[in-house]
C-alpha cells in the first residue's frame, strides 16, 4: 500500500514552510483562513500535513501572507536542495 504524498518524508518541509510564511506575516491561523475564505481547521490541517496543498493553494497562501509566490516558491525549492 502506498503512502499519501503529504505523509512522505520530503513533503514535511512544505507544512513547516507554510507556517513560517504565516507567522512571518504576523497572521494567526484564523486570520489567514479569513483571507483565504477557509476555516481555521483548513489552515491547521495544511500546517500539520493532514491535508496536501496544491500549487494553486500555495500561490494563494503566499499572496495572503504578502509574499510574491515566485519568491516563496524559490525559497521553498532551496529547502529541498
pLDDT tens sequence across 61-72: 999 999 999 999
All residues at 6 or more sequence positions from 80 whose CB lies less than 8 Å from its CB, including other chains:
10, 13
- H helices of 1-81, in order, are 13-24, 29-36, 40-47, 55-64, 69-80
In a domain, 5, yes or no: no
Global confidence as pTM: 0.88
Domain extent, residue 45, equals: 13-80
In a domain, 21, yes or no: yes
CATH of residue 53's domain is 1.10.260.40
- 4-18: pLDDT as tens digits: 665 567 788 999 999
C-alpha cell at 19: 507556517
Report the number of distinct structural domains present in the chain: 1
Amino acid at each position: 500500500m502506498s503512502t499519501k504524498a503529504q505523509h512522505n518524508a520530503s513533503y514535511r518541509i512544505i507544512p513547516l514552510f507554510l507556517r513560517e510564511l504565516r507567522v512571518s506575516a504576523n497572521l494567526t491561523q484564523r486570520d489567514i483562513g479569513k483571507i483565504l475564505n477557509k476555516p481555521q481547521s483548513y489552515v491547521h490541517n495544511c500546517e500539520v500535513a493532514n491535508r496536501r496543498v496544491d500549487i494553486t493553494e500555495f500561490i494563494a497562501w503566499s499572496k495572503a501572507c504578502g509574499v510574491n509566490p515566485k519568491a516563496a516558491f524559490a525559497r521553498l525549492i532551496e529547502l529541498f536542495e
